[in-house]
């Protein structure tokens, strides 16, 4: 499958089968994420694959309650990956200060998308989730104060064909040549 | 080529041939970026493909002078893509405020990596650049005040085999199962 076909195949899955996900598939997704480029090669990430009970259900129920209920579909995902953003190395952090931007967020975007695209190739469904109760997730996983969990990835087999992707801008609208 | 092979093939290219890059290749890279997922499907990006003279050289020389000289290798790239980060849509911007995080940076990470991986498949070399004189780039492209250029991508044919990627953490160091 060419890369563009893989990109077209990736959809946000919001309806999961209860079937467990094979460890070797997750392992290859992690390997794809591991090899992602990052600012100053800082690799500011740790992927916590939450799959065992009762931890997974507890985490999901707390993460997606109250104002975050709109993402409660993810409670049914057999695997939830909590992506921990680590504090940056000095060079990237100093450069980020001068540039008024957080490189680790860009890095997290790259590494998680590597995970997601490999999962797509493995026949798995995924959903990026950025709206959840981070404090509850950190408590469930007993993470340290400065560590952030910016992103959760819901992973599993799709119960049914995911909805088509949201409408994208045309090429002419999102790009130009000069 | 499987996705993991593509990921392994991608390297940061810092030495470019002067050969121009075919428009249809760039077009497929933009298509891959266009289809990237983003928070609330906000697509907060515009890709300005700078390839014509004297604009490309002027932009590159100004972007990579003074404290940014360490990236002056990119002056030789036949194509420089300035990735404009657009202000977010209200939903993503409100959620980002509550979550203390900038979703557009994550989105830019995803979309640019789609571009870069498609370029790799096309046999092109690329380099992510996050350290450059943004004000000079904005002036060269006459961009508006609120628009940010967080990332430049240098694109072209490799003059020689790029260096091996920086050493990555082991799987055990960057991931765990719970």
**Rounded distance between C-alpha atoms, residue A154 and residue A165, angstroms:** 17
How many Cβ pairs closer than 8 A exist between chain A and B? 197
Which residue from A114, A43, A30, A80 is spatially nearest to B171, judged by alpha carbons? A30
Alpha helices in chain A, H assignment, sequence order:
3-9, 23-34, 55-63, 90-99, 103-121, 134-141, 171-174
**Nearest chain B CA: its distance from A78 CA (Å):** 12
Residue pair B48/B112 in contact by the 8 Å Cβ criterion: no
- Specify the DSSP class assigned to residue A51: -
Give the residue on B whose Cα is nearest the Cα of A36: B7
Flag if B176 and A45 touch (Cβ within 8 Å).
no
B52: nearest CB among A109, A114, A178:
A178
ipTM: 0.96
A3: nearest CB among B32, B95, B151:
B32
| pTM, two decimal places | 0.96
Per-residue pLDDT of chain B (178 residues; tens, 9 = 90+): 899 999 999 999 999 999 999 999 999 999 999 999 999 999 999 999 999 999 999 999 999 999 999 999 999 999 999 999 998 777 888 888 888 889 999 999 999 999 999 999 999 999 999 999 999 999 999 998 889 999 999 999 999 888 888 999 999 999 999 9
Tally: H helices and E strands in chain B: 7, 5
A141 touches chain B (CB under 8 A): yes
B3 touches chain A (CB under 8 A): yes
Q: Residue written as tokens 């765990």?
A: B176
**Nearest chain B CA: its distance from A61 CA (Å):** 16
Q: Tens digits of per-residue pLDDT, A44-71?
A: 999 999 999 999 999 999 999 999 999 9
């Amino acid at each position: 499958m060419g890369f563009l076909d893989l990109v077209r195949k990736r959809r946000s899955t919001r309806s999961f089968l209860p079937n467990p996900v094979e460890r070797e598939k997750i392992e290859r997704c992690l390997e794809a994420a591991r090899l992602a480029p990052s600012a100053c090669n800082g690799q500011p990430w740790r992927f916590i694959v939450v799959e065992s009970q009762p931890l997974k259900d507890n985490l999901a129920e707390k993460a997606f309650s109250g104002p975050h209920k709109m993402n409660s579909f993810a409670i049914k995902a057999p695997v939830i990956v909590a992506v921990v953003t680590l504090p940056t190395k000095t060079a990237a952090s100093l450069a980020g200060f001068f540039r008024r931007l957080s490189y680790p967020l860009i890095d997290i975007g790259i590494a998680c998308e590597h995970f997601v695209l490999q999962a797509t190739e493995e026949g798995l469904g995924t959903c990026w989730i950025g709206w959840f109760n981070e404090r509850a997730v950190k408590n469930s996983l007993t993470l340290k104060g400065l560590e952030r969990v910016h992103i959760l990835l819901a992973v599993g087999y799709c119960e049914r064909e995911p909805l088509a992707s949201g409408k994208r801008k045309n090429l002419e609208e999102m790009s130009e040549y000069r």
